[in-house]
Structure 1
Amino acid sequence: MAEVSVIVRTKDRPKLLIHALESIARQTYSSCEVIIVNDGGEDPDISRIEEILGGKFKYCRIDESKGRARAANVGISASTGRYVAFLDDDDEFYPDHLEVLVRCLNETDFRGAYTGCRHVLKSYDPDKGEFVVKRVITEFGRDFSFPLLLFENYIPLISVLLDRKTLEEIGGFDEELEVFEDWDMLIRFSRRTPLVYVPKVTCQYNAWSRNTQKAAFGGFDHRDVYLKVIRKHRDLFTPEFITFWQFHEKKVLEQHYGELLNSLNRENHSLRQEVDLLRRDNENLKEWCSNLETARRQLLDELRTVRDSLAGVETDYQRISRELELIQKSFGWRLISGYRALTSRLFPEGTVRGRAYSTALSAVKGLLERTVSAGHKIKSVDKPVGSGRSVNQELSVCFIVNHLDGGQRYRGYHMSEYLGIAGIKASVIPDNELPARADEVFRHSVVVLYRLFYSPLIDDIVKTCKKNDITVVYDIDDYIFDDEALPYLNVRGVSKDELRQVIRNHRKAMDLCDICLVPTEALSRLVSATGKKAYVIRNALSSEVINISENAYALKETNNSRIYIGYFSGTTTHDQDFLVASEALLAILEHHPDVDLLIGGHLKLDARFDRWIEKRRVRFLPYVHWRYLPYNIARADINIVPLVQNVFNDAKSELKYFEAALLRIPTVASPTESYRFAIRSGENGFLADGTEEWVKYLELLVTNPDLRKNIGEKAYFHTMNTYSPKAMAPRVAGVFREIAG
């Protein structure tokens, strides 16, 4: 026989009932039976209940609703356990609820006990298919006081466990009471034997949004019923009791109402913060709408451009079709067609004659090519010994970039801008526009392949470049060209076999070239280990990014009472990196209620952050186009760059530092090689090695606004002097002049 009977009262709230029963199924204490009492509502899904509880439940149906007290008494009559617990269908137990209460009663002489109870506002999210906590309202829980119980129903019924025989002896619940039936029962139970309080929150009393809760019981005048309960126990209000209460319990009541007042003040403060957050969200939404409208107009302009281009293509197609028709009618075309038909008859494919003809034709073509090539070189090339290109050929650079990779901005378009400032011609061709624009490639003296996979097309382009004395450079900005990098690659949704194939495709394309271009010294050493010469050009800024960032900085909110620590991720590969700073961030959130965490882009947080997400202390921003990224970064007061220290991350660039520095935002970063290059710790940022240093430097910046401003300003000036187009142009031009020889 079960030691505990849990009585569940329900009426026409099937989703809430299932939620409540699931909390019983999760109990760590297993010797219990469940009595489900349906007070005149529609029958629930019994098969679903069996899935949750197995066979350990009884179902009692009251055909016509008789009220809460009647439903409770029916449950008591059907129960067989030594103890009785109560759970209405809209509330829930925490997993150790029954275990805590049973242990208390079994180890003491008390016949009734109760625990702390959390009161929360919840709602049902149909998109997620789950119940979510909107906010915590308050917590019930104080030592037992019979005089206080006479004045106030301060013990939620969900939190109690009572001896069944004593409960039956006092007559259960008073069915004349529409509400406060639990308060009246507890007063009568306590007149027989006192209750004991276990100071631990083990259950949850839920208040529900209107769209979730369907009222099971009608409305009553609670004041009249309250007076009815007081009159029922008026024999306890003797002169002696009133005197005792006045002199001995008055402070208890004052303290209790003081706590209630403090709770209301906290709730008021919480609501004000909620209103502030909603106001800021509304302002951000307006800004996003404005940005989206701008993007929509840009797309319409681009669409018009594409339509104009298509019209031009259609015109060209019609012209070429007419020219082809004229060619096919010409004497030359008929002569060539006749020649092809004749050779097909005289030298059929697959025959000895056919093979001999093909061999002779290839020899003639080769001889013609060598003759034309030699004649060209004699006419236009005057090459000194050892030169890879003509002394008469002007330096110009073509960047063929991986159109799917975000780094194409830094390694292609930004580079092109720097060379243009230095007076060197440069162009950028996305790889998806090949082979249509292949002829443009061969007009340059240096061709850079940024992060391209190997393909027959790339192979042909490289071979053609080399044949025409064009220097080909492979640009790679991550350690993704060696199988030894595989352990460091963790991309959500991508298997190790797929990552290995990515590495090998990059390496095969890289092996076509003799020279490599990289953004960091660490990556240069890794490339050099493969036997190739590597040049370093660091990732840096464009004029457009600087202008956008200045606009974002001008719009930055400066009178915000909250402090935002920002983390911005551009890919799904940084989950492990973020763990480096997780302990420190949790400590900061715990000890600094004015600090929030801002997550931009792709990141999967672990369960330790759940309660901060529920409290809206962790805010999420979507991954956005790079032109809108500065506006997201500008919302932060402190920028963090946590990285696991290994050879892979040492090879990564410091771009997260200078993107935040443009907005005068100080950065705390892990001391990888690139961030040691960029940050002089304590001057233009901080380098944190280990949780203790992360906490130390975040504390410094959180508590000292003048330090945040000072560090941010120094980072800005350092960035403009080091990573601006004006600063980069002479360095980049020098590297390409050396590459070109």
Structure 2
Amino acid sequence: MNIINMLPSFKIKNKRTSNQQPATSNQQPATEASFEEILNDLSALRPELTPDFIKTILLNQSLYLQLNGDVKDSKLCPVYHYYTFGSKEGREFCSPDFRLIKKQLLETGTKKIIFFDVSKDNASFLYRGFFLELRNDDVQIIHQETELIMAIKSIFSANEMIFIRPSFNSKKTKYFINLCKILNIKISMNFDDLLLPEYVSEQGAVRSRVFDASSHQGSLINNSAMLLNTEELILSSKKLGEIFSGFIDNIYIKNNRLPLEYFLPREEICKKITKEINGKINLFYLSGSKTHLKDYSLISGCLIKLAMEYPDKFCINFMGKLNNQVPIFLNLGVETKFIPFASFEEMIREIGRNDLVLVPLENTVFNNVKSNIKFIEAASQGVPVIASSVDEYKLAIESGVNGWLCEDEYQWYDTLKSIILLKKNIRQVGLAAYDTALRSYSI
């Protein structure tokens, strides 16, 4: 089953296009009925609201007419024009001035809405939105590709809206937050990382020099201001909850979990145990973005040392955006390949083609609040991980039983050397990891 394709897929254009046509009254009869249907649908969802009020919260009509002289000349209703023509033409969305609009007191919605202003295959969106609510029919999920009017219809049916990692720079996020406030819809926020300005120096992006600390701190300050809008926080780890407890009283911990559909059948994992690793061990490093460069530096030295000593004992494969390490290992005689970013499902399958996943993480506050999704993903395929001893991995792994934990680069070297040379228990450890993930981290 392709779980990702179960998500609704709607396309939205953000930029004005060269194909934009002048507005004319001749356009009106063709689509006026569909626009009235939109208003009727919204009125049915919130019957206490008048059509004029609904138009007021759908668009800043006066600003839209100022920016689009052809619409003004056509005498068309600006809200009608934007939602039938303007949005398709890529015209700028003009958010209403909510300071001038009176908040509604009724709470008539019944659904929970989850929103993350990124594409639907983003890992944070999948884990913090889609996966957690996969079995919940009372949840609707919207994302970057959801058509604006469809998203608004969803919000009109809601009694709660959850924003995943809301960004201050997202106009769409700001509009939806204000719309929730006016419609008296509960606002919750969901975080899986420590995105607070006082911890900027702990972030992998800064430590790996992807972002400059001072400029990135300004972005984190703005994003943190979004917390003033929330009534509830949903977080991915207990330690993250402890840190955020100073900001809000209502905090709920929901650990990341992987749907059962992604797990291989247990009998397939058991079959692996009967097949010993006769050739080279396949090591796999899944870097994700370049923000993990500093994390990778923890093991780069020991991997190079092992390559110099035992080039014929292992292969190493890299996936993600880390600087290409392939030439280094090829020059040392180690079979290796680099795999660019792939879809989530392709990534899971690639993990299953390897014998051991490497998860080096610096011992920082930022990494100690992160969840252990690489353990979960690898375990779902019966593949064990060797990981740094940060909090969430220590909760999941009993070293030598269902994975391996390392405190420093010396322990990384000794543990990897032992695994590469002896090849013992890798399959059994993978099965134990599978059982742990299935029991504690599946949906």
Normalised TM-score (structure 1) = 0.43
2:434 corresponds to 1:719: no
Name the counterpart of 1:731.
none
2:351 corresponds to 1:633: yes
Q: 1:605: Cα distance to partner?
A: 6.2
Q: 1:645: Cα distance to partner?
A: 0.3
Name the counterpart of 2:220.
503
Instruction: Find the aligned partners of 1:641 and 1:599 in 2 and give their Cα distance.
Output: 12
8 A Cα contact 1:613 1:619, kept in partner:
no
Q: 1:535: Cα distance to partner?
A: 1.4
Name the counterpart of 1:516.
233
Going from structure 1 to structure 2, the CA distance change for 1:318 and 1:661 (only over 3 Å counts) comes to: farther
Instruction: Find the aligned partners of 1:694 and 1:323 in 2 and give their Cα distance.
Output: 63
Number of equivalences: 352
Taking the TM superposition and a 5 Å limit, the aligned residue runs for 1:67-86 are none
Instruction: Find the aligned partners of 2:211 and 2:428 in 1 and give their Cα distance.
Output: 42
What SS is found at the alignment partner of 2:285? strand
Name the counterpart of 1:694.
412
Q: 1:559: Cα distance to partner?
A: 6.3
Q: 1:589: Cα distance to partner?
A: 2.2
Q: Render the CA deviation track for 1:510-562: whole Å, top value 9, x for unaligned.
A: 22113211111121122113345321111110244336999999999976611
Q: Render the CA deviation track for 1:89-124: whole Å, top value 9, x for unaligned.
A: xxxxxxxxxxxxxxxxxxxxxxxxxxxxxxxxxxxx
Aligned residue type for 1:526: I
Aligned CA RMSD, in angstroms, stands at 3.7
8 A Cα contact 1:552 1:634, kept in partner:
no
Aligned residue type for 2:289: T
Name the counterpart of 1:480.
195
Instruction: Find the aligned partners of 2:254 and 2:393 in 1 and give their Cα distance.
Output: 15
Segments of 5+ residues of structure 2 without an aligned counterpart are: 12-26, 37-99
Going from structure 1 to structure 2, the CA distance change for 1:688 and 1:664 (only over 3 Å counts) comes to: same
Q: 1:324: Cα distance to partner?
A: 9.1
Name the counterpart of 1:650.
368
8 A Cα contact 2:189 2:234, kept in partner:
yes
8 A Cα contact 1:410 1:540, kept in partner:
yes
Name the counterpart of 2:262.
545
Going from structure 1 to structure 2, the CA distance change for 1:514 and 1:692 (only over 3 Å counts) comes to: same
Name the counterpart of 1:20.
none
Instruction: Find the aligned partners of 1:553 and 1:413 in 2 and give their Cα distance.
Output: 30
Name the counterpart of 1:603.
322
Instruction: Find the aligned partners of 1:492 and 1:620 in 2 and give their Cα distance.
Output: 22
Name the counterpart of 1:319.
30
The one of 115, 118, 140 aligned to 1:400:
115
Going from structure 1 to structure 2, the CA distance change for 1:713 and 1:538 (only over 3 Å counts) comes to: same
8 A Cα contact 1:459 1:512, kept in partner:
no
Instruction: Find the aligned partners of 1:547 and 1:448 in 2 and give their Cα distance.
Output: 31
Name the counterpart of 1:660.
378
What SS is found at the alignment partner of 1:445? strand
Instruction: Find the aligned partners of 2:183 and 2:34 in 1 and give their Cα distance.
Output: 32
Instruction: Find the aligned partners of 1:655 and 1:520 in 2 and give their Cα distance.
Output: 12
Name the counterpart of 1:203.
none
8 A Cα contact 2:202 2:366, kept in partner:
no
Instruction: Find the aligned partners of 2:417 and 2:384 in 1 and give their Cα distance.
Output: 13
8 A Cα contact 1:600 1:632, kept in partner:
no
Name the counterpart of 2:243.
526
Q: 1:453: Cα distance to partner?
A: 0.9
Name the counterpart of 1:111.
none
Aligned residue type for 2:229: L
Q: Render the CA deviation track for 1:36-71: whole Å, top value 9, x for unaligned.
A: xxxxxxxxxxxxxxxxxxxxxxxxxxxxxxxxxxxx
Aligned residue type for 2:432: K
Normalised TM-score (structure 2) = 0.69
Instruction: Find the aligned partners of 1:618 and 1:504 in 2 and give their Cα distance.
Output: 41
Instruction: Find the aligned partners of 1:323 and 1:678 in 2 and give their Cα distance.
Output: 53
Going from structure 1 to structure 2, the CA distance change for 1:320 and 1:550 (only over 3 Å counts) comes to: farther
Q: 1:477: Cα distance to partner?
A: 1.2
Q: 1:419: Cα distance to partner?
A: 2.9
Q: 1:644: Cα distance to partner?
A: 0.6
8 A Cα contact 2:382 2:427, kept in partner:
yes
Name the counterpart of 1:415.
132
Going from structure 1 to structure 2, the CA distance change for 1:548 and 1:317 (only over 3 Å counts) comes to: farther
8 A Cα contact 1:397 1:446, kept in partner:
yes
Q: 1:642: Cα distance to partner?
A: 0.4
The one of 313, 320, 338 aligned to 1:594:
313
What SS is found at the alignment partner of 1:416? coil
8 A Cα contact 1:549 1:663, kept in partner:
no
Name the counterpart of 2:160.
446
Going from structure 1 to structure 2, the CA distance change for 1:319 and 1:678 (only over 3 Å counts) comes to: same
Instruction: Find the aligned partners of 1:524 and 1:570 in 2 and give their Cα distance.
Output: 25
Instruction: Find the aligned partners of 2:216 and 2:271 in 1 and give their Cα distance.
Output: 42
8 A Cα contact 2:117 2:173, kept in partner:
no
Q: 1:410: Cα distance to partner?
A: 0.5
2:152 corresponds to 1:433: no
8 A Cα contact 2:264 2:381, kept in partner:
no
What SS is found at the alignment partner of 1:522? helix
Q: Render the CA deviation track for 1:159-209: whole Å, top value 9, x for unaligned.
A: xxxxxxxxxxxxxxxxxxxxxxxxxxxxxxxxxxxxxxxxxxxxxxxxxxx
Instruction: Find the aligned partners of 2:112 and 2:270 in 1 and give their Cα distance.
Output: 34
Report percent identity of matched pairs: 20
Going from structure 1 to structure 2, the CA distance change for 1:495 and 1:433 (only over 3 Å counts) comes to: farther
What SS is found at the alignment partner of 1:478? coil
Going from structure 1 to structure 2, the CA distance change for 1:439 and 1:691 (only over 3 Å counts) comes to: same
What SS is found at the alignment partner of 2:140? strand
Aligned residue type for 2:223: H
Instruction: Find the aligned partners of 1:442 and 1:549 in 2 and give their Cα distance.
Output: 43
Going from structure 1 to structure 2, the CA distance change for 1:552 and 1:622 (only over 3 Å counts) comes to: farther
Instruction: Find the aligned partners of 2:266 and 2:146 in 1 and give their Cα distance.
Output: 30
Instruction: Find the aligned partners of 2:223 and 2:266 in 1 and give their Cα distance.
Output: 33
What SS is found at the alignment partner of 2:437? helix
Name the counterpart of 2:399.
681
